[in-house]
Chains A and B, each alone.
Chain A
Amino acid sequence: MEARKTKTVSENDYSSIAQSPSFQALLSEKKKFIIPVTIFFFCFYFALPILTSYSTVLNHKFIGSITWAWVFAFLQFIMTWGLCMLYSKKAAKFDELANQVVEERGIS
């Protein structure tokens, strides 16, 4: 059994939390991280089908018979794992900021 959130929070409380400096700080930290990274991974991802569809640059050889298309495809995996780890690390900081918001309000 985990702790229940016993104290009820009214509509006005949510407004005041939303406008509090600590919550605004959490939001802006998240935005600063999530928006640019999201734009990056969409660009990186769609670059592959766009390049394979409209050019042949990726058909050039990398090593032996391995072409750049396969290298780029593999880099998508590396990017996904890398950004997963990066998110986990950043999220630990967001958790701290979120805890501050919760503690300020005295909600258990």
Chain B
Amino acid sequence: MNTPAFIMFLGIVFVTLIITYYASKKTKNASEFYTAGGGLTGWQNGLAIAGDYMSAASFLGIAGAVALTGFDGFFYSIGFLVAYLVVLYLVAEPLRNLGKYTFADMIASRFDAKKVRGFAAMNTVTISIFYMIAQLVGAGALIKLLLGLSYTTSVLIVGVLMTVYVIFGGMHATSWVQIIKAVLLMGGTLVISIIVFSKFNWSITDMFAQMKTATPLKESFLNPGVKYKIGLDTISLNMGLVLGTAGLPHILVRFFTVKDAKTARSSVVYATWVIGIFYVMTIFLGFGAAAFVGNSSIVAANPAGNMAAPLLAKALGGDMLFAFISAVAFATILAVVAGLVLTAASAFAHDFYNEILRKGKATEKQQVSMARWAAIGVSVISIILALGAQSLNVAFLVSLAFAVAASANLPVIIYTIYWRRFNTTGAVWAMVVGLISAIGLVAIGPSVISPEAGKAIFVGNPIFPYTTPGILSIPLGFLAGYLGTLFSSQKADVKKYEEVLVKSNTGIGLANNR
């Protein structure tokens, strides 16, 4: 047991529970629960987006990937950031203007059909749970390593905390946990980066020169192609990364926590600065870990490299810095899983229960109570799945969530906002085909079927050759939306599209959350 780490973990638990206590007093109705009343400012929401987004995969995963594979690991940083241009230019403002609580609201603003809302909610729950399993598996490994608790106990601790934040504090607590986490993560990463930079004599050229000899990869560490050797596989990965963010439900719901499109826009801009600066620093984390911890120690702690950042902190600053960075990683995971539980619970309670089962007539009290039960349900399912997924690679699960989001959600979002002829059949086809093709291609791909025993679930030759499905499943999602629209006998509702066009571009008729 690492005593400073234990104390800092307790500190984080204590502070987040205090936040939850104060947030619970404000969480009286559905709007407060789902969107914090839409009252966040641009910079608050910008930090919360950053806190929601920079997950265990970003902090632990990318640091490890850069440390072990050099340039190829950095692809994640680039894709995760450039993705915000898609969010800013194409999605954020129309989404805020058309929706109220969930991403399904936005689709339903054009197609008032239960099945459209139902499929949108199903995609939200599926993507969020995939994403959550990845975070829980990461959390379990981290706490096990630091505090010596068993994997099961570790997952349960995180699972209980995330449920408590959401059922008592709703979006208020979730947002503030994310904001504090973003500040902690940026601070911790900055400290490590500065120490690493000082060790390279404050010289970028020195740093690159030393990296040529610091790892077993030698010079090829600095060149692309260490991990991704098949061209189309690399492009598939990059498609999922850059297009996935704009379809991730837990990121999309953050835009409903601000009052209008203008604030949604400024929050994306703040988030992009924070996230971009963080991803630049992943170079220092990765290079530092490769140089000062060493390839063999990183792999010994975790074969996927997930412990590179905490080990680097230990090598640079001893037990105290190690404890601090580990606590930051713990906070990182808590903030992300809270956002995911809330998003999945909102989709269930708002879309399935209130809009579909109760035809929008549930009282505020019934809605909040259903959302709380849904949060418990989502947590229990995720915890059970995470307990069975211990051996799965964290980065694989997250990239799967991104690819599913890009394939199942992005086409329907883009068509709803921008395509005049789009209709309900097209919307359903796009969502179903996107979801099934993304998951199906992973199931028959090398992450599940591998010729090497022990590397994947089944032994054999993968039917689909690429590790991520994006290159095929994203075009399939778009194509299905297009064909579904053309083959359907429905006529395009021009009046409805004009309404959507006016609302999304001017904010007229904005669903006000207060």
Contacts and interface: CB of A to CB of B under 8 A. Distances in A.
Given A14-B495, A84-B269, A23 B509 contact: no
A91 to B, nearest CB: 6
A77 B74 contact: no
A76 B235 CA distance: 16
Contacts of A83: 85, 88-89
Given A58-B224, A70-B222, A87-B88, A49 B209 contact: no
Interface residues of A toward B: which range?
35 or more
Contacts of A76: 78, 81-82
Interface in B63-81: 71, 74-75, 78-79, 81
Given A2-B259, A65-B211, A101 B506 contact: yes
Contacts, number: 160
B289 to A, nearest CB: 18
A30 B499 CA distance: 17
From DSSP, what is the main secondary structure of chain A's interface residues?
Answer: helix
A58 B72 CA distance: 13
Given A59-B223, A66-B205, A87-B89, A77 B71 contact: no
B114 to A, nearest CB: 21
Interface string A77-108: 10111011101100100010010011001010
Interface of A: 1-2, 4-5, 9, 11-12, 14-15, 17-19, 23, 26-27, 30, 34, 37-38, 41-42, 45-46, 48-50, 52-54, 58-59, 63-67, 69-70, 73-74, 76-77, 79-81, 83-85, 87-88, 91, 95, 98, 101-102, 105, 107
Interface of B: 71, 74-75, 78-79, 81-82, 84-86, 88-90, 93, 204-205, 208-209, 211-212, 222-225, 228, 230-232, 234-235, 237-238, 242, 259, 262, 265-266, 268-269, 272-273, 276, 279-280, 495, 498-499, 501-503, 505-510, 512, 514
9 contacts: A15-B495, A17-B506, A42-B242, A53-B228, A66-B204, A66-B208, A76-B81, A84-B85, A105-B508
